[in-house]
Amino acid sequence: MKRTYFITGTDTNVGKTSATLALMTYFKQQNLSVVGMKPVASGCEKIDGEWRNSDALAIQKMGSQFVDYSLLNPYAYELPISPHLTGKENPVDLEKIFANFQTLQNLADVVVVEGAGGWYAPLNDNETIADLARKLNVPIILVVAIKLGCINHALLTVEAIQHSGLNCAGWIAVCNAANFFCVDLTIESLVARLKIPLLGVFPYSEQADFEDLAKRIKFD
């Protein structure tokens, strides 16, 4: 059976790409073929005359097979700001993303799609990440950066996901703050309040080891 997940976060820079790459590694460890997608990326550099995003390139490299860059990242914007601001001349079209997504589904057992920013991050003048997720209509995995304020952010995001009518399959705790001293108690508080499975805890590290992180992921 084909499996697909949409990765969202409580904010930007919370560890969505690390979670995406770890999940891709996890599925490869289960002897499943996997490809990734980052439909919208801000903050790109020009490589061979085309805008490319470092996170999207990492996702491309992690796939079980080569996927053309324009297929997995159709909207690559130069400036590291919200897509609805940097993409005025080439606004995000959800139909184009959906068409690319369907193509990717035919290439592998698993497709992991990484969102941009948080759940309500605007993609164009009228649509948000929530609209993109509804268009794809696949289970959501929430990435929570373990830091001060994350309990409120996580609870609000899960409520918003459920309000969108989508299934939140679980959440991943990413410890990306080197000096946060209340990690374990914060995760315990989240487990007690979030009525969705904790799929994994990623400890703080200067350099992510995706083989190790994948072994920390547990699906029922």
On whether residue 189 sits in a domain, the answer given is yes
1 has a pLDDT exceeding 70:
no
Distance CA 160, CA 174 (A): 20
Q: Tell me whether residue 51 is in a domain.
A: yes
Mean pLDDT of 49-75: 97
Residue 188 belongs to some domain of the structure: yes
| pLDDT level of residue 178 (50, 70, 90 thresholds) | confident
Choosing from 28, 38, 147, 218, which is the catalytic residue? 38
Residue 163: count of CB within 10 angstroms of its CB:
10
Average pLDDT over residues 11-33: 96
Domain annotation covers residue 199: yes
Q: How confident is the model at residue 177 (pLDDT cuts 50, 70, 90)?
A: confident
Q: Is 38 a catalytic residue?
A: yes
Q: Give the pLDDT score at 114.
A: 98
Q: Could you tell me the residue range of the domain that residue 96 belongs to? A: 3-215
Position 104 in a domain: yes
Residue 110 lies in a domain: yes
What predicted TM-score, i.e. pTM, was given to this entire model?
A: 0.96
DSSP annotation of 128: B
The two three-digit tokens of residue 112, written as one number = 């992991």
Does 172 reside within a domain? Answer: yes
CA distance 144 to 163: 19
Here the CATH number for the domain that contains residue 108 is 3.40.50.300
Q: Is the pLDDT of residue 2 over 90?
A: no
The predicted structure's pLDDT at residue 219: 87
Q: Which of 88-97, 99-108, 175-184, 196-205 has the lowest mean pLDDT?
A: 175-184
Residue 220 belongs to some domain of the structure: no
CA atoms within 13 A on the CB side of 175: 18
The total number of structural domains in the chain stands at 1
Distance linking the first and last C-alpha atoms of the chain: 16
- Compute the average pLDDT of residues 130-147: 97
